[in-house]
Amino acid sequence: GAGVSQSPRYKVAKRGQDVALRCDPISGHVSLFWYQQALGQGPEFLTYFQNEAQLDKSGLPSDRFFAERPEGSVSTLKIQRTQQEDSAVYLCASSLDLTYGYTFGSGTRLTVV
Amino acid sequence: GDSVTQMEGPVTLSEEAFLTINCTYTATGYPSLFWYVQYPGEGLQLLLKATKADDKGSNKGFEATYRKETTSFHLEKGSVQVSDSAVYFCALSDPGSQGNLIFGKGTKLSVKP
């Protein structure tokens, strides 16, 4: 597609519920990143994929967070047993060549009630 | 660890006023520096970047110069327009990283006609 597509755009989850957030990167983009943006803050790195390999997951805040990209294209960020502190906008970005930066999606706004 | 500090907003200016948004960074190596912009309801977009000391990034009338001696990358525009109203994020990428970005907290700019 023309840009990075994320779905759903908005998600409301009850505390304790599992959620799955989807990212469709730009076709052919090798690198894929997930970021978490809390209200009024800058995005914070969660995890990085190069093709299907998850090369860095140091930013995942707990073992309730899990990300995958099984075929090196679409990626899913899964959050188990959601907590109120998980409420944030989750951003996905992809890149063909990191030298030139990368393209962000519009994000998924997760609200845990 | 690496970090980015931006001036706090919000910043409110009249149309055609001069804009400066300050950004300083802390990094162990020689990072690449970026300004991203987030228009209301949209994803983050790369505004400009600089990859080494004394480089000047420019785009859409915005400029920022990579100042190693002051570890700064201040964003400037000579004459702002209403359409420049957005949140601006300063960010760095450490060359030793996988390309993940470290963001400042963002500065909200409102331009009044």
| Gap from A14 CA to chain B (nearest CA, Å) | 25
Task: Give me the pLDDT at residue A92, please.
Answer: 97
Cβ within 8 Å, pair B104-A42:
yes
Q: With beta carbons less than 8 A apart as the criterion, state whether B90 and A46 touch.
A: no
Q: With beta carbons less than 8 A apart as the criterion, state whether B74 and B7 touch.
A: no
CB pairs under 8 A between A and B: 53
Cβ within 8 Å, pair B100-A33:
yes
How confident is the model over A50-72, as a mean pLDDT?
A: 95
* Residues in chain A closer than 8 A to B96 (CB atoms): none
pLDDT tens string, chain B, 113 residues long: the values are 899 999 888 999 999 999 999 999 999 888 999 999 999 888 899 999 999 999 999 999 999 999 999 999 999 999 999 999 999 999 999 877 778 899 999 999 999 99
Q: With beta carbons less than 8 A apart as the criterion, state whether A23 and A5 touch.
A: yes
Quick one: tokens of A34?
A: 């997930």
Task: Indicate which of B32, B36, B46, B100 best probes the interface with A, i.e. most A CBs within 10 Å of its own CB.
Answer: B100
| Gap from B73 CA to chain A (nearest CA, Å) | 17
| Gap from B89 CA to chain A (nearest CA, Å) | 7
Task: Give me the pLDDT at residue B40, please.
Answer: 86
Q: How confident is the model at residue A1 (pLDDT cuts 50, 70, 90)?
A: low
Q: With beta carbons less than 8 A apart as the criterion, state whether A43 and A91 touch.
A: yes
Question: pLDDT tens for residues A9-49?
Answer: 999 999 999 999 999 999 999 999 999 999 989 999 999 99
